[in-house]
Amino acid sequence: MIIAIVDFSVAPENQAVALNILAGDGVAATAIKGNLGFRAFTDAGSKTHVGLMHEWTDQAAFDAYVASPGFATVGAQLRPLMTGAPTSRRFEATLYETVR
């Protein structure tokens, strides 16, 4: 399983805009084979933070997303809103347990 966590900052007036862009990308990303989850979020109390966590079954599925036209489009839409460089952490993980 691949888990990617992206964090970046925007001006306060652009936080909702960035979340809406990611929400649209989430619809497309969840349609890609191998997507297990796609969640955009903010830090409580922050008017500038935007985050994204997405999960993929394997490296090939993640690579397909990164190579998709939608990924390029979202990057082109988000970069002008960012007030600094984004941080993207990518993890190879083993699912230990799912509790419901």
Question: Mean pLDDT in runs of 10 for the chain (100 residues)?
Answer: 98 97 90 95 96 97 94 95 97 94
| pLDDT on residue 81 | 98
| pLDDT on residue 82 | 98
Give the integer Cα–Cα distance in Å for 37 and 42: 17
**86 SS3 class:** coil
| pLDDT on residue 27 | 85
If we measure between CA atoms, which residue out of 53, 43, 51 comes closest to residue 19?
51
Q: Return the half-sphere exposure (C-beta side, CA atoms, 13 A cut-off) of residue 77.
A: 17
Number of residues written out for the chain? 100
pTM, two decimal places: 0.90
Give the integer Cα–Cα distance in Å for 49 and 6: 11
φ, ψ for residue 35, nearest 5 deg:
-80, 130
Contact present, 5 and 89 (Cβ < 8 Å): yes
